[in-house]
């Protein structure tokens, strides 16, 4: 069979897919059937006949038309689809979906294949892109808050006999109720919590403030989506807390002596410590502003880019997310089926729930890949090795396996992509008038 004997018509479909309709002349179909039947005859073992000598009609009757057709599909279709993809320069990113529409002796065969392909990504005009640059101002309130954090290192903790106040330490026994049942793994006894913003869930803090030792209080909370226990993520629960003790933090006033003590002699006066704290905050603010600008710049490009979302890549991303979850759940004593039961969803519903984030990640990766191409970002193998070694110096587990990973093509590919991405963001920021230093630093993170 030759490519010239086969008719192939292609059509673009939504979702970055290409449909190939392949038509095969009846003569080639018949030859495929003949080859399959001949092979079956040679392998047939039928009583009264020597191997390979049974009559063809008898062999076909014994095997049945469905089996013969299936074997014709197995031998005929894969080479046809592969050749059609090659002839039309179609590079699929996943195994094509193939449907045999017509296949019978004496008639043309019609096969339809759907192949997912990488989409064409159109970036916005980078030179015309407008991205607001954040400018954080360090004020006295911020300086005072940081000084208090430092002074709290010297705070004395004293038990008190009064109602709990903001800033106190509360000693509580707590239980977690979900779906009207206690969750034993979440129970804690005599746990110490700080009644301060950012240290405790606001609902729990509000429930405890104003209450005395021995009182039982409760608070209804919707658990964070990233909570450690997968069975409770995003679920409404009730905390029941018994207040067992209240402790007050007595923070010293800022004096020259305290400034020297809290800074380990580096700043001998309160004024010098205050000035140093302000300078540190301003440096942190510049770094955070740079990070925010990088994120905003990349978000602006990703949002403005034009592309069709490849269905196959999104499904692969969802599959990967489910694989990761399936590996993590046993550590919590859960199976995927039980976890979905807690959520009140079936697998199909949960896949749809994951789809939005999966599409966002795929879109970002495709746009970054296009940025790498357009901005001419490259890395050498030596730079990949240096990057891996730098990462290993900060990661104990990575350090133990560095030699093996350096020789692993998949590991090198992962770190190469990581390095390319950081350099692409740096180049984008430079193109937009920033210095790209934060992205450069990311190469060493």
Tell me the per-residue pLDDT of 367-408, one tens digit each, with 9 for 90 and over.
999 999 999 999 999 999 999 999 999 999 899 999 999 999
The alpha carbon torsion through 31, 37, 41, 44 (nearest 10 deg) reads 150
What the block records as the tokens of 118 is: 């990488």
* pLDDT > 90? residue 273: yes
- Could you tell me the domains of the chain? 3-116 (3.30.70.1050), 156-250 (3.10.50.40), 283-442 (1.10.3120.10)
Residue 100, pLDDT score: 95
Task: Determine the longest span between alpha carbons in the chain, in angstroms.
Answer: 110
180/235 Cα distance (integer angstroms): 12
Q: Which one-letter DSSP state was computed for residue 22?
A: E
pLDDT at 360: 95
pLDDT of 358 above 80:
yes
pLDDT, mean of residues 147-168: 93
* pLDDT of 62: 79
Looking at residue 331, the DSSP 8-state letter turns out to be G
CB 41 within 8 A of CB 33: no
Radius of gyration, alpha carbons of the chain: 33
0.75 surpassed by pTM: no
274 band by pLDDT with thresholds 50, 70 and 90: very high
- Interval 292-328: pLDDT, tens: 999 999 999 999 999 999 989 999 999 999 999 999 8
Cβ distance 398 to 392 under 8 Å? yes
- Please report which confidence band the pLDDT of residue 436 belongs to, taking 50, 70 and 90 as the band edges: low
Report DSSP state, residue 127.
G
Q: How confident is the model at residue 15 (pLDDT cuts 50, 70, 90)?
A: confident
The answer, yes or no, to whether residue 94 has pLDDT greater than 70, is yes
- pLDDT tens sequence across 211-229: 999 999 999 999 988 788 8
> Which structure tokens are listed for 20?
């190939």
């Amino acid at each position: 069979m030759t490519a010239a004997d086969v008719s192939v018509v292609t059509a673009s479909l939504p979702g970055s897919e290409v449909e190939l309709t392949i038509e095969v002349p009846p003569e080639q179909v018949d030859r495929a059937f003949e080859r399959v039947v001949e092979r079956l005859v040679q392998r047939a073992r039928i009583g009264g006949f020597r191997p390979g000598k049974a009559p063809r009609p008898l062999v076909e009757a014994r095997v049945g038309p469905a089996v013969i057709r299936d074997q014709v599909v197995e031998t005929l279709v894969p080479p046809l689809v592969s050749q059609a993809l090659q002839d039309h320069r179609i590079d699929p990113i996943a195994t094509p979906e193939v449907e045999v529409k017509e296949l019978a002796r004496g008639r043309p065969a019609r096969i339809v294949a759907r192949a997912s392909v990488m989409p064409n990504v159109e970036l916005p005009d980078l030179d015309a892109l407008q991205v607001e640059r954040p400018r954080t101002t360090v004020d006295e309130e911020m300086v005072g808050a940081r000084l208090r954090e430092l002074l709290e290192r010297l705070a004395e903790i004293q038990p008190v006999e009064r109602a709990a106040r903001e800033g106190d330490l509360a000693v509580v026994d707590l239980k977690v109720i979900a779906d009207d049942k206690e969750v034993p793994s979440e129970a804690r006894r005599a746990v110490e919590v700080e009644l301060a913003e950012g240290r405790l869930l606001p609902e729990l803090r509000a429930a405890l403030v104003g209450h005395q030792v021995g009182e039982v209080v409760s608070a209804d909370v919707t658990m964070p989506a990233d909570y450690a226990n997968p069975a409770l993520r995003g679920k409404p629960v009730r905390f029941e807390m018994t207040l067992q003790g209240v402790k007050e933090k007595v923070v010293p006033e800022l004096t020259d002596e305290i400034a020297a003590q809290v800074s380990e002699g580096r700043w001998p006066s309160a004024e010098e410590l205050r000035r140093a704290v302000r300078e540190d905050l301003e440096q942190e603010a510049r770094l955070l502003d740079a990070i925010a600008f990088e994120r905003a710049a990349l978000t602006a490009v990703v949002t403005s880019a034009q592309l069709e979302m490849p269905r196959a890549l999104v499904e692969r991303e969802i599959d990967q997310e489910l694989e990761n979850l399936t590996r993590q759940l046993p550590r919590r004593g859960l199976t995927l089926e039980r976890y979905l039961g807690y959520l009140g969803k079936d697998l199909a519903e949960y896949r749809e729930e994951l789809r939005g984030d999966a599409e966002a990640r795929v879109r970002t990766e495709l746009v970054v890949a296009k940025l790498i191409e357009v901005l001419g970002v490259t890395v050498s193998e030596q730079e990949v090795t240096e990057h891996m070694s730098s990462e290993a110096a900060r990661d104990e587990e990575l350090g133990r396996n560095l030699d093996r990973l350096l020789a692993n093509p998949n590991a090198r590919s992962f770190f190469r992509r990581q390095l390319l991405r950081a350099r692409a963001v740096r180049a984008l920021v430079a193109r937009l008038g920033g210095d790209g230093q934060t992205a450069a630093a990311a190469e060493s993170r």
